[in-house]
Amino acid sequence: MLFRSKAAIIESNTELAQLEQDVVNLLKSKDEEELKLNEADQAYYNLRNNLQEKESALRMQIKSKELIDQLINEIKDKLNNLKLQLSGMKERLNVEFKVELEEILDEGRTTEISLEELQASADRMKKRLENMGEVNPTAIEAYTEMKKRYDFILEQKNDLVTAKESLILTIQEVEATANKAFLETYHQARENFQKVFKALFTDEDSCDLILVDPENLAETAVEIVARPKGKKPSSISQLSGGERTLTATAMLFAIYLIKPAPFCILDEVDAPLDDANVGKFTQMIQKFSDNSQFIIVTHNKQTMSAVDVIYGVTMQEAGVSKLVPVDFRSLSN
């Protein structure tokens, strides 16, 4: 029994030793596996870091490629713009200056001015163009419209100037004709006035018509000068009423004689005259009655006795006038 117990103990110890050995082996194996795992983890982290670095490098390359593509597109756009500008410059040189750009580029430099001075001059001209502002595309159309309007107004102005000059010449001709006619009429009236005045007064009496402003015939006044014998009045207002009437009558007949009218109406012209002057007045009427018919309104009996026909106006009833004619020519026959 005891032998069996010892054997069991030995066996248990052996198993325990074996188990311990297995535990030690397992611990070693665990350490090895952990070491391998750590190495694997380290390798993973290294690979992941390498991958991240490569991804970052790839993104940088992609970004660089995008920037390069953008720069290429910008360069293409600028190149296209330059081509358009060059084409426009060629067309402008050809249209405005009749010059081909290729001919200019092929020609050698014929000036001794340095490129720096040419560039400075070009910069100044460019600055002047910038200061002038952008070109108004409607300026040509506006200029054409304004040019048409200017030409129209200029034509109207020239027509007005021509019409003005023609009108001035016409006015001058009219004024010359009017002045000539006025002078002729004035001299005739002056001569007639002197004759009629002496017929109404005496040969020793004097009179005259004087132009106040002979240099301006269109606006000059005519001064009537009457100097009966023994008087030296400064104006006709200083004459007596009868003298003024005779002077006015002389002036009237002086104008009448220039172009006699078919008939003439005189309203109480003889009222201020005395009998002697009424006689002179009626003699003057009888002298001119061969060419004209005179109608005289008068209350003077001496004048009535000198006429051919008298028409009397009476009022036999209140408010009713009656005309009574008397023909002295039938009575004389």
**Residue 176 belongs to domain with CATH number:** 3.40.50.300
Q: Encode 222-242: b = buried (16+ Cβ within 10 Å), e = exposed.
A: eebebbbeeeeeeebeebeeb
Last-in-domain residue among 259, 286, 312: 259
Residue 130 in domain: no
Separation CA 278–CA 270 (nearest Å) = 6
**pLDDT (0 to 100) of residue 111:** 66
Residue 19 in domain: yes
Residues in contact with 267: Cβ distance below 8 Å, sequence separation at least 6, in sequence order: 297
Residue 125 in domain: no
Proportion of the chain above pLDDT 70, given as a percent: 92
Residue 304 in domain: yes
The verdict on 237 and 185 lying in the same domain is yes
**pLDDT (0 to 100) of residue 292:** 85
Ordered DSSP codes for 137-197: TTHHHHHHHHHHHHHHHHHHHHHHHHHHHHHHHHHHHHHHHHHHHHHHHHHHHHHHHHHHH
The verdict on 325 and 286 lying in the same domain is yes
**pLDDT (0 to 100) of residue 3:** 53
**pLDDT (0 to 100) of residue 164:** 93
Bigger pLDDT: 56 vs 331: 56
Separation CA 165–CA 159 (nearest Å) = 10
Proportion of the chain above pLDDT 90, given as a percent: 10
**Taking a C-beta distance cutoff of 8 angstroms, is the pair 208, 225 a contact?**
yes
**pLDDT (0 to 100) of residue 5:** 67
The verdict on 35 and 61 lying in the same domain is yes
Residue with tokens 């390798």: 43
Three-class secondary structure of residue 128 per DSSP? helix
Three-class secondary structure of residue 86 per DSSP? helix
Residue 148 in domain: no
pLDDT-derived band at 153, boundaries 50, 70, 90: very high
Residues in contact with 250: Cβ distance below 8 Å, sequence separation at least 6, in sequence order: 193, 196, 197, 199, 200, 207
- How many domains, in total, are found in the chain? 3
Residue 145 in domain: no
Separation CA 74–CA 82 (nearest Å) = 12
Tell me the average pLDDT of the chain: 83
The verdict on 246 and 331 lying in the same domain is no
pLDDT-derived band at 108, boundaries 50, 70, 90: low
The verdict on 214 and 280 lying in the same domain is no
What pTM value is reported for the model?
0.48
Query: What residue spans of the chain are helical by DSSP H?
Result: 2-96, 101-106, 115-132, 139-200, 241-258, 275-288, 301-305, 328-332
Residue 117 in domain: no
Residue 144 in domain: no
Query: Is the pLDDT score of 161 beyond 90?
Result: yes
Segment 282-326, tens digit of pLDDT: 888 888 888 888 888 988 888 888 888 888 888 877 878 888 888
**Taking a C-beta distance cutoff of 8 angstroms, is the pair 260, 287 a contact?**
no
**pLDDT (0 to 100) of residue 148:** 92
DSSP code for 268: S
Average pLDDT of 121-126? 84
Please tell me the least confidently modeled range out of 1-15, 42-56, 129-143, 266-280. Answer: 1-15
- Look up the domain containing 289 and give its range: 260-333
